[in-house]
């Protein structure tokens, strides 16, 4: 049942959710670049996989945004989500292979201060963004915003898994912890791939924001006509 919210408050909540999602996508872009670079330097399968996962999430958001620029967005929905699903499956395959080979060869990734700081920041930032979006979504009565906030929270767990692996490798010398964290990422990637394939993409918030923008635009037109 949709929440009954006064129009001024509704507009405020729409803007708040747009801001939160925009910040989340922007943060993921920065996170992806830093994680892949740091992972390459340290030969960390977990960090590289973490960065690639963030990259695919950003690309999925862009793909959904592109879909909503088409004259008939519904026509492109299934192909778009299928492409996103395949990308996540490919990521899972790559990270699994890298992690297994690292375990077999007993590769010891180097200490990565950048990686530890990045994942630690994500563990702090992501729950804050998730909570803010969930509160706004519940007040607005938006199931999509609430679902997207849960996806952001899941990213926190992923960040925590990578952080534990990096710290365990650096402080305790558990070289295998990095590969195990990589396998955790692969599991998350499979989950996200299945959701996208079924039509439950993690980036549907982009479509939600565009729809809300259209709704506000239509509302403004109606207001103009009333004048």
User: What is the full per-residue pLDDT of the chain (227 aa) written as tens digits?
Assistant: 445 667 777 788 778 877 887 888 888 899 999 999 998 998 888 888 888 888 877 777 777 667 666 676 567 767 777 777 787 788 888 888 888 888 888 878 888 899 999 999 999 998 988 888 888 878 877 666 676 677 777 778 888 888 998 899 889 888 888 888 888 888 888 887 887 787 655 545 555 555 555 555 555 555 555 55
Give the residue among 187, 161, 181, 188 at the shortest CA–CA distance from 46.
181
pLDDT of res. 38 = 92
pLDDT of res. 2 = 47
Distance, in Å, from the CA atom of 22 to the CA atom of 64, rounded to the nearest integer, reads 14
**Which residues, other chains included, contact 91 with Cβ-Cβ below 8 Å and sequence gap of 6+?**
49, 52, 53, 56, 186, 189, 193
DSSP string, 14-47: HHHHHHHHHHHHHHHHHHHHHHHHHHHHHT-HHH
Distance, in Å, from the CA atom of 201 to the CA atom of 196, rounded to the nearest integer, reads 4
Domain 12-209 part of CATH 1.20.1510:
yes
**Which residues, other chains included, contact 165 with Cβ-Cβ below 8 Å and sequence gap of 6+?**
46, 177, 178, 180, 181, 182
Enumerate the domain spans of the chain.
Answer: 12-209
Give the angle subtended at the CA of 28 by the CAs of 88 and 76, to the nearest 5°: 50
Distance, in Å, from the CA atom of 208 to the CA atom of 212, rounded to the nearest integer, reads 6
User: Contact, 25 vs 202, CB < 8 A?
Assistant: no
User: Contact, 160 vs 46, CB < 8 A?
Assistant: no
Q: Please give the DSSP secondary-structure letter assigned to residue 70.
A: S
Distance, in Å, from the CA atom of 206 to the CA atom of 208, rounded to the nearest integer, reads 5
């Amino acid at each position: 049942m949709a929440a009954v919210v006064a129009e001024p408050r509704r507009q405020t909540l729409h803007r708040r959710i747009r801001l939160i999602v925009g910040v989340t996508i922007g943060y993921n872009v920065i996170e992806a670049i830093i994680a892949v670079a740091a992972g390459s330097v340290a030969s960390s399968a977990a960090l590289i996989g973490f960065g690639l996962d963030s990259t695919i999430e950003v690309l999925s958001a862009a793909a959904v945004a592109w879909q909503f620029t088409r004259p008939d967005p519904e026509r492109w929905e299934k192909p778009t989500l299928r492409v996103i699903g395949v990308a996540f499956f490919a990521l899972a395959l790559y990270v699994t292979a890298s992690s297994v080979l690292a375990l077999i060869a007993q590769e010891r990734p180097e200490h990565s201060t950048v990686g530890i700081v990045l994942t630690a920041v994500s563990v702090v930032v992501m729950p804050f963004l998730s909570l803010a979006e969930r509160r706004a979504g519940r007040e607005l009565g938006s199931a999509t915003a609430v679902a997207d906030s849960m996806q952001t929270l899941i990213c926190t767990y992923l960040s925590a898994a990578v952080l534990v692996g990096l710290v365990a490798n650096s402080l305790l010398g558990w070289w295998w912890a990095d590969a195990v964290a990589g396998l955790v990422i692969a599991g998350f990637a499979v989950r996200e791939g299945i959701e996208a394939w079924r039509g439950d993409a993690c980036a549907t918030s982009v479509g939600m924001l565009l729809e809300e923008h259209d709704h506000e635009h239509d509302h403004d037109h109606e207001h103009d006509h009333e004048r």
